[in-house]
Structure formats: C-alpha cells, structure tokens
A and B are shown apart, each in its own frame.
Chain A
C-alpha cells in the first residue's frame, strides 16, 4: 500500500480516543458500518467567519466479502494487524560484550519467536505453539530456518501493554558476539519480522502513549535525523553495486508487470504474451536474489571473520603451524606430546578477512584429567569452527589414530551441515614426497589437502588459498560484485525472494496470469520501498509509453 512498511504499523496503533467518546453498538447486518461524526467547524474562507458543519460521513469498511466464510479467517495470521519489528538493541561497537540482546516488538512477536525458539524444558516443548508467560524468563536455543542451532539464549517475553512499546515485546538474550547476534536477527527476519528503523521502538512507545510529551520532541528529532541518515545512505548507495542490482531487479519487475497488466486492461489490442521468456526472466531474477543473499553471507564473513580450528593427534605440529602462520610464538612448542592443554588463539588476516586460528590439544584417549578436559574442548571447538584443519605428520603418514580421530570429529558433527575440512600434511620437510599415495585415498573425507612445513613456513600460502576457496570468497569476482549487503538490504532481499518463490509456485501450479501480478508487485515493493500506488502509476505510464493501445 501507500505506506512504506516501516510506517504501516504506526498508523493503527494510535490510541483511538474517539472510540471512547462514542458508544459502540452492535450491527444488525453482517457488516461493519462505522459512522464518523466530525462536527468540528471548518472555516470556508478567511474573510468570512461563517462556518459550516463538515459533511458527516458514513464510512463503509466492509473488509469482508460476505460470501467468504463470513469474514472469519481460519488462519492464525488473522490477528496480525501490523508489522513486527526486530533489531539488535545492544551496542555492537567496541569490544564484544558477553551478552547481546535482540528485541522484537509487535503483534506477532510471540509467534515469530515461537518459530525460532526451542525451549530447553521438555514440558514447554509439548504444546503446538509457544505460549509464554509474561515476564517469565525461559531458557532454550534459537534455530534457523533449516533447524540448525544458532545460539543458546534466554528469552524474556513482555506482553503488551506491560512493555516498553505497549505491544508484545520479546527479548532474546544471546551471546555477545556479532556473529551470533546477526544470525539470531536473521532467523527472526526469516520468520517474518521486519528490521526496525532507527528509533522505531521509541517511536512506537510514544505513539502508543508510553512516553510523556516532553519526550515527543526527541522522537521528532530522531525521525528527522533518520530522514537525513536515509538520505545520506541513499546518496551513498547511488553508485553502489547493490543499488544497481536492486534497481535492475525492480525495473525487471515493473517491466513484467507492464507486460502483464497491459494485456489485462487492453485485452484485444495486444499481441498475446509469450509466457516462456517471462518465466525464464522470473527464474533469472530469483537466481540473482539468491546470489545476492549469498553475498550477504560473505558480507557477514567479512565483518565477523573465520574461525579455523587446528586439530590432530598430539605432536603432529599443530602449535608450530599456528606459530608459523601467525608469525608469532603464541603457542608453546615442545617435543612432548600433549603440551597444549587449552585452546590457544591467534588472530591473523587472510586477504583482508580476519581469521582466528584455534590451536587445540592433541586429541587422544588420556587419563590425565587436565589433558582430558583439553581434549573435550578441542572436540567442542572443532564442531563450532568454520573450517577444520586436520593435521597429520608426514613422517608417520595416515595412522589408525588419525582414522579414529576423523570418525570422532565427524560423529560429533551430527548435523547435516558439514564443516569444510582441510587435510594438512605437516613436517613435509622431514619426509620423502613419495607419501602422496595415501593422501589420494582420503580425498573423499576432506575438501582439500595441503603439504606444509611449520618449521620452514613452506605451504602456508597454499593453506591460505585453500581457506579462501573453501569460504567461497574466490567466487566474488574482484571489481564485479564487490559490495556489501547490510542487514536492511538483506531483509529487502529476503522479502523479494519470498515473493519470487510464491510466484514460481503460482507458475508451476498454472495459476492465471493476474495472480502473478500480486507477487511481482510485492517484489517490486520490497525492492523499491515505495508505495503501491506509485507502482500502479509507473506501470500505467510504462504501458502507455511502450504499447500502442487505445481505441
């Protein structure tokens, strides 16, 4: 509709003061017919003081088609009458905090959280829907749309009106790292939330009568500051690759709408529409959106970096590798197996991407209680890292212990998503190169293998290249799509993608042409952040500009 989604919500949430003045009466017909009496006098011209009563109006709000199930909509969605916003409300600047908070506010806040949150308590898990008690903290995990666990969280539900915005508010207390917070937020957006505009929680609080009048000015300033910010970012985005992608996608949507709607309004004057190119174009657009969303993931990578766990049997040179790679003496290196007991971190930069190397205790069965804990930690790190470097010694070759260790890591990763693994054959300086034979037999277990020598630094560049390739960064052509996608743009793309997927299924189910326009319009709306009428007007002028129609 006419309003940007960001503002749609606001419109209804103002206290309906008028309704308290007039009584509500039941209606004899099955339809809502509300009468607005506006009796405020309105001066007709500055010269005359004569006023007349503004026209009284009956407003017909038949938001129901009488035939359609008497207006009762079976889906739970029927109560949703405004958008639900979400944002990370704790600071992301400065050193990472221990805890970060993602806040949701709006009528479907509870149902959205219900979709991403799995309570730890089994009792609570039983019900079909998550139905929290207001102001009672719950513990559990957040999962993404594929069901993978993202983070463990504390959930604080604050149901309206006893909340900051007087709407249902749910806060997810996550781990403070930026990656966690962004992943949780993304899950909420995927589940139907909309990213909040700057200051929108406060704006809602004000419009819902929460703040006092003196604070209104601040809200006003906030909004105008936001407009400036929007203008700035819009300006900044003009040259950006992302905006040109959005522009071209939007133009394609409008073009297709033009093609279709011209045929709907001027049926007998147009040549029939070739459907196959249209379908191809829609598929192409979906692909582009998917690609762009993938870029969004790389973008997060750029911001948050990679975690690389170095695992292996004791004394294969893991710590030496870390030291050689980070060009430091971060880890203690001895000849004694099991020197490293705890996780040792070193931060390096691989082609501009921040990488955290995690040196782990050598994994083996041990009775030493300290080492045992170290081994457990190693395994835990291996499950959560972005890339695993499985290190073996070139001198010893692939041993039975290595085989066991590989199984152990793989079985810990019970999930379907497998962390990419690199086989690092270390100590290559101490062994003849005739060992290559066994490496090839293992190619199915690892994405890559690299020969290194931690002592001489040989093979480190190969390792870096392998990492870059595994993280998929080599797929971003330099100079081509070298732009970043922020959370908001990501949301835009997610909405666009949803619309395209619905459109695709409409096409597959051979739904008539008119229905295609619904989702094309929605895609154009999501891409353009402009009102529906503007699209109508644009489509119309395109129709008249492009086609020779009219009788």
Chain B
C-alpha cells in the first residue's frame, strides 16, 4: 500500500489552493468557430417548443471559499458568462445526487436540465430498492445522499424481500408515488444552499488547452463556466423512442432528445455506442377489476432505507396485484410476432436480459403456459397502474387488445403505450473509478451515460461523481470506493473494467463480497467517509456513533450474561432443536438456528434501549460471526494483494510476455491496480504474473539507473573540484 494520509490533512491543504475556476478560460475562444459549425449542423434536430429564459439563476448562500470571489465577480458579471465550481448536466436520479452532494460539500453548483418539471422523474417503474439495488440505496444514504430519504417519505408500499435467505441478500423494496417523489426531490434541490437550477440543453463542452473541462455551451448560446462538469444525460443523448415500427427522436415519451453533445464528445475522441431499454404500458386503475386478482400487501412492520430516524414516518400503504398471462395472450403474440422489432427483424439491438419483453418470454420459454404480471400503483393521486413484466415492442394498435387478455384487465383502458428507447452511451472504460473521464480532466460521467440502468445505480454514481467533481474543483484529491467496501464500488469497478453488452443492472450475484456488503452495515462501512467528506453533519454523525456504541455494548452484554434454565431455555430448545447447556451465555443462545432476538425480548432478556434495526445488527453480528470472520480474512488477504498500484504510463504493447489479447485489453482499459487488471476480460492469471515480473524488473532497472546516475554525478563533481575546467557547466545536470 502506498501512503496512508489523513483526509483532514488534504482538506486543510486544499483550503489554501486557489480554485482553478477563477482563471479565465483562454482557450475556449479559439475553439468557438469549430463548435459553432457543429451546432449549426445539428440545430434542426432540436424540437424545443418554448424556452423560459431566466435572467439569473437564484444564487443563495455561497460556500466559504467560493464566496469572496463570487461576490467580487458578481459586480461586473455579464449575463452570458456564469461561473460555478461544478456544473451538473441532467436532473435525473444521478444528476440530483451529484448536484446535492456537490453543493452540500460547499461547491457552488449549477444543475442544468431540459425541463425543471421533470426533475427526479421516475419514467419507468416507480419503485426503489430490491435485491442489490436496496444496498445501493442504503449506501448512498450512509454517505449522505438523498434517494433513500425521499423513497422513505414517498412510499406507497414497502416489502422486505429474501427475509429468510440470509442477511446479505435481505432487500427492501418500496413502491413510490412518482409525482410526490419528483416534487419532494425538487423541493430539496431548490432549498439547498449553493445550488442553482436552470433549464438548458447543453450541446458543447468548453475544453481548455490542457484537455481540461472549463464549462458548457447551451443550445441557445449560453456559456457556463466550471472546472468540473458532471454529465448525467440518461436516455436523452440522441434518444429515439419506438412504438412498433414507428420511431421519433425523444429522450422519453413526450420529451425532446438532446442532440449535439454526442457528436461533440466524439470529436474529442470519445467512443460511443447505443443501448436500448423500454417501459411497459400504463392502464387506468379505475377500469381494472381487482376482485379476482391476488393482492400483494406491504409489510406490517415497515423498514427504512435511511439510517436517519427523523425520516422514519409511517404512512398508509397501497396494494399491488398479481395477474397472469393467458392462452389468448400467448396466441395474440404468436400471431403477431412479425410486428415486433426483434422478431420482425428491424431492430438488431437486444434489450437487457433481466428485462425481457413479453414476446421474448413467450418465444424463449414455450413450455411455460403462463407468466406472472404485477399491477403496481404509480401514485396516490393518479389512476395510472404500471403493468410490470409486460414490456412489448408491438405496435400501439395491438397493445390494448393484448392488455385485455389479462384477467382483471378485460375492460381496461390504456393511458400510455409501451415503448422502447435507444440512446447513446459512453463505454465506461473511458472513465477512472472516480468517474472522471480519462480524456478530459474535470469531466465526469454518471448514470445511463455509463451504460447502467435503474434509479439506484444512477444515484450511486451520481453521489460519487458529485463528491469528486466538488473535490476536483477545490483542488482536492478524488475519492474511489473500492469493490470490496461497497456495492457502489462493485458497480463502478465493473463499469470501468468490463465490457458491457446490455444496460448494467446491479445484482447480488455481481459481488463476491456480498456477505460483507449488507444493508445493515452500510452505515458502518460508509458513514465515516461521508463524515470526512462533509456530507454527514454533526447530528447524523452523533446518531451514527450512538448506534454503534449501543450495538457494541449490547454485544458485550450478551456475551457476559449467563442464564440458568427456565422458560427461555425451554423455548430455545424447542425452536432450535438443540439442547441448551446450563448457564449458557445469551450470545451462545442467539447463535443457535432459528433463534432470533425477539425470543430474548419475549422473555425479558432483551434490551429496550435498542431499536429494531439495532437488534437486527446485533443478531447478525453474533449469529454469523464465523462466516463473517472467515470472509473478512479472505478479504484482507485479497485487498493487500490486489491494491498494488499500476503505473499510468505502462506500455502494454511492448510487453511481449503478455498474450496479445491481454496487451490489447489492458491498453484499452488501463487498469489502476493489479486487481483491476486481473478482472479485465481476456487477461489470464499467467498474464498477471508476467505483468508482475515486468513491473519488478522495471523497478530494479530504475533503481540501478538511479544508482548509476548518482555515481556519475559524484564522479563528475569530484572531477570538477579537481580540474575546475571550463566544461563544468555542460557536465553538471
């Protein structure tokens, strides 16, 4: 491991550095003519109806180190030039977290979005969480992000999945009110100090002469300046939506796509590709007959995404319903397969494997007579029902008849048709694990632009890029979450290392360390970091410390409290099927199969000071101690081995001992560590060994060269002293 240095130290140091945003962007002027051409060419694609031009984005309070200069600069500002520390492009779930974390750290932040009314919109399933995704939400919350709190505040229904399958895969899923969610998040953004919001379509980047980002240009000719820019463009970059055979340029149904940016970034040398995803139809719940459908209720005991108890406010839950495809559904699809994009053959791109269209399911699993379809409410005040599991590429005229083959939906009316969307993304091997791009300093990518899917994945990247954008603009070092410490780290490591063939969704099976990356310990893993960065305030920090202390104390109590036989031991013998020895500790009782903390509570051996969450933590720590310790040991081994840093300037093509494939792939990905190198597809263990040998040889060679140089300079010095010759100047280094 390289150096261990206090984060506090770097923070203090950086307070004295001058933010580079204050330097005038000299080079951008030179680049303008070329950029204008590019924009002119693309102007026709823009289909913006009207534009409310706001003279001045509301600038509230300023951060400590930005304030003096900003005020100073305000006096002679002209309307076309605005300076910020961080600009976030896009107001989706990545953009919101990025803008919030950046502003909260203290960077003067501007959020640019195509439509302010669509901030934090949930265009697909209005749900947050689920296996692996819930861990992401917990982790974002532990770092000081917002998605968990908003989901806790706007839920329609909550359920814990995988309850009995182990603590690492237990997952909270919330159905949310999509309008409430968006407006809550918007309110939070609007009331956050240091954060300005503005409608704009970004078409170009301003790039400095050191290949560093200096700002963005909008379609209508505004320049906004900042040393850090986060792009979270979602499905909007050259987005195109499809219903049946008909397509139109759009980011989402009814919203115009964003054009120009892809081409501009391609000119800078970025590699782009297309991905495709889709969303099913929505039906009017008032036209659905729920009487024959299986209801799916929420949990009676509600769980929470956020570790902040202030946000744990219970509310009334709504019901989801279960229906199934019928013979006539299957028949209708089989009769019209030629009308679907995949089987009709006019779209080659396949959708994600975990989100197959209903026609895909029926074609690929012919022997399955029926498929489950979930009907999920989209809000308390809207009649829309989300028909989960019923994505389709069929033309709109067939969609309603198809819906009406489902029991309960015989007379339904469709509010929105299902559609697919394809959009540009930038394969994320072009990013560092900090999410900064390798080509342009200060430019960060987050969300679907990196090829992911899902609000949770977007939020997770958003908070990382927001933190790093703010830190970069303040001259601080950027932060990388490692694969072993979090699902966020796993997500980003996968993105920057592996080849994607479909939109990336987080799954529990993607993490080799999932026993360690549980939802109950996300705060223990990440809140200290959040506190160091400045996203966790003192109140939250105290809550965290208190909780930690309570849990440790309780574990100690359980370890030392011994009990003699009685009601408790009798019940434990019954529940676990194992005998209880006399004067066993409470800890040893908890370790027995099927014994939960609740049993201790029931017999008066529990601790009333602990919350339900605390008790769960205690139970997990004790029950699975053996497994956790074993995994921890393996992890420690692994971390030490894999975190060896690779130099940035390695010439892989010159390494003849590597296989050709490894040379190619390593040159493309340029891994940061040995561990990352070993995860690159096509790099074999033998390649890794060869790489290690080369590194060691290089190190020795450099060492010997240094020694040689030192020696020659000593000799030179000595000869100078002796001769005082006129050659002196040419010899000395």
Contact mask A77-98 → B, CB, 8 Å, 1/0?
Answer: 1101110000000000000000
Given A25-B6, A263-B165, residue A551 in contact with residue B388 (CB < 8 A): yes
Complex interface: chain B residues within 8 A of A31 (CB): 528-529
Which B residues are CB-close (under 8 A) to A62?
A: 482, 485, 525, 528-529
A263 to B548, CA, bound (A): 32
Chain A interface: which of B80-88, B243-251, B688-696?
Answer: B688-696
| CB-CB contacts below 8 Å: B207-265 with A | 209-212
State the interface size on chain B (CB cutoff 8 A). 120
Question: Does A55 interact with chain B (Cβ within 8 Å)?
Answer: yes
Q: Does B434 contact A (CB under 8 A)?
A: yes
Q: Give the contact stretch, choosing among A1-9, A336-344, A352-360, A457-465.
A: A1-9
Contact of A40 (CB < 8 Å), options: B484, B624, B649: B649
Which residues on B sit within 8 Å (CB–CB) of A10? Answer: 641, 689, 692
Known: A514-B169, A531-B678. A37 touches B477 (CB 8 A): yes
The residue from B478, B642, B644, B657 contacting A55, defined by CB atoms under 8 A apart? B478
A135 at the interface (CB under 8 A from B): no
Residue in A9, A27, A60, A536 whose beta carbon sits within 8 Å of that of B481 in the complex: A60
Residues from chain A with Cβ under 8 Å of B508 in the complex: 261, 264-265
Chain A 42-82: CB-based contact to B (< 8 A → 1; otherwise 0): 10110010101111111111111111100001110110111
Question: What is the bound-complex CA distance between A15 and B512, given in angstroms?
Answer: 27
In the bound complex, do residue A539 and residue B641 qualify as a contact, i.e. CB atoms below 8 Å apart? no
| B-contact bits for A202-245, CB 8 A (1 contact / 0 none) | 01001101001100100110011011001000000000000000
The CA-CA distance from A31 to B685 in the complex, in Å, is: 31
Task: State A206–B693 Cα separation when bound (angstroms).
Answer: 8
Q: Please, how many angstroms separate the alpha-carbon atoms of A53 and B512 in the complex?
A: 33
A120 interface hit (Cβ, 8 Å): no
With A7-B688, A54-B648, A268-B161: A63-B484 Cβ-Cβ less than 8 Å: yes
Q: Is A16 an interface residue (CB 8 A)?
A: yes
Assess whether B482 is in contact with A60, with CB atoms less than 8 Å apart: yes
Q: How far is the CB of B105 from the nearest CB of chain A, in Å? A: 14
B636 at the interface (CB under 8 A from A): yes
Q: List residues 374-407 of chain B with CB under 8 A from any CB of chain A.
A: 374, 388-389
Known: A44-B439, A58-B478, A68-B621. A539 touches B509 (CB 8 A): yes
Which stretch from B62-70, B340-348, B352-360 is at the chain A interface?
Answer: B352-360
Q: Contact check: which of B161, B356, B485, B701 meets A61 at CB < 8 Å?
A: B485
Given contacts A81-B636, A515-B627, contact A264 B644 (CB under 8 A): no
Q: Per a CB cutoff under 8 Å, which of B211, B484, B692 touches A207?
A: B692
- Minimum Cβ distance to chain B for residue A26 (Å): 8
A19 at the interface (CB under 8 A from B): yes
Contact of B648 among A19, A38, A266 (CB under 8 A): A38
The smallest beta-carbon distance between A195 and chain B, in angstroms, is 15
Q: Which residue of A lies closest to B322 (CB)?
A: A268
Stretch in contact with the other chain, from A111-119, A165-173, A411-419, A542-550: A542-550
Residues of B within 8 A of A531 (CB): 678-679, 685
Do residues B644 and A77 form an inter-chain contact, with CB atoms below 8 A? Answer: no
Which of A174-182, A399-407, A505-513 contacts the other chain? Answer: A505-513
Query: Would B594 and A510 count as touching, CB distance under 8 A?
Result: yes
Within 8 A of A (CB), among B424-446: 432-434, 436, 439, 441
CB <8 Å contact, B641 and A60: no
Complex: chain A residue closest to B320, CB-CB? A268
What sequence of 0s and 1s flags, for each residue 624-654 of chain B, a beta carbon within 8 Å of any chain A beta carbon? 1001110111011111111111011100000
Q: Once the chains bind, are B364 and A548 in contact (CB under 8 Å)?
A: yes
Partner among A34, A74, A268 whose Cβ is within 8 Å of the Cβ of B3: A34
Q: CB-CB < 8 A to A267: which residues of B? A: 131, 161-162, 171
A67 touches B3 (CB 8 A): no
Q: A37-B3, A57-B432, A267-B171 are in contact. List 15 more A-B contacts (CB 8 A).
A: A4-B685, A11-B675, A25-B5, A28-B8, A31-B529, A35-B5, A37-B477, A52-B210, A62-B528, A67-B521, A213-B701, A223-B690, A257-B509, A531-B679, A540-B510
Please give me the 5 A-B residue pairs with the lowest Cβ-Cβ distance, nearest first: A514-B166, A11-B641, A22-B3, A512-B166, A4-B685
